[in-house]
Amino acid sequence: MSYQHQYVDGTTVHFPLGKVVCIGRNYAEHARELNNPVPSEPLLFIKPGSCVVPLDSGFAIPEDRGSVHYEAEIAVLIGKPLSKAPDAEEVRDAISGFAPALDLTLRDVQAKLKEKGYPWEIAKSFDGACVLAPFVPGDVIEDLADIGIRLVINGETRQDGNSRDMLNPILSMIQHMAGHFALQPGDVILTGTPVGVGALNKGDELVLELVGHSSFNSRVL
């Protein structure tokens, strides 16, 4: 199923789907659970827009490339151009929405790439590797340092995090990103995943929440 940005009320967001800019290891406990060092500066990577699929209709995962891990994240939709290290007020004004998302990872493939010192794209940017829910409007959430993200799989809470625990808060993270490459309307920021990542399996039933703002049921097809 093709993807188009939309708000939770069903309104279409008329920005083209752009790139997905991600930050790795932005929660210290998640870095530790995978035996990774906690980075001293933001660890950035990009997924192409072609890997984005909608959450609500269910989504498929590769079945022939080893373990596929879920990573629940707070997604931020960019609604205005940002570049050259904008100030925090400009960044806040450019946020068009917030949504829960899944950053999917071919964990076995990633481990082999890391062993060789190779880039992660094959493990992070496959078709369907970014699963996005509809967005709540950007002005609905006032305190960006208190946004909850929760993932329940088959009735069991697997991840339950909050933006207050991010090593790089949302506004400063986006400032840093825009200082390296321009962000455009329709781009999506994935802000990192809290502790609790693990494997997805065909038939899993999911509830993905932006706590207190939006909640969505889905399943692995």
Say which amino acid occupies 147: I
Q: Which residues contact 24 (CB under 8 A, 6 or more apart)?
A: 39, 43, 44, 45, 192
DSSP string across 104-135:
-EEHHHHHHHHHTT--SHHHH-STT-EEEPPB
**Does a structural domain hold residue 14?**
no
- Which tens digit of pLDDT belongs to each residue from 156-186? 999 999 999 999 999 999 999 999 999 999 9
Tokens matching residue 2: 């093709």
Print the domain residue range for 193.
19-220
Cβ–Cβ under 8 Å, residues 189 and 171: no
pLDDT in tens, 78-113: 999 999 979 999 999 999 999 999 999 999 999 999
Residue 173: inside a domain, yes or no?
yes
Q: 3 in a domain, yes or no?
A: no
How many domains in the chain?
Answer: 1
Q: Alpha helices of the chain — where are they, by DSSP H? A: 28-33, 88-94, 107-115, 121-124, 170-180
Cβ-contact 208, 151 below 8 angstroms: yes
- Does residue 38 surpass a pLDDT of 90? no
- The pLDDT confidence band at residue 41, using thresholds 50, 70 and 90, is confident
CB 90 within 8 A of CB 82: yes
The enclosing domain of 36 has a CATH number of: 3.90.850.10
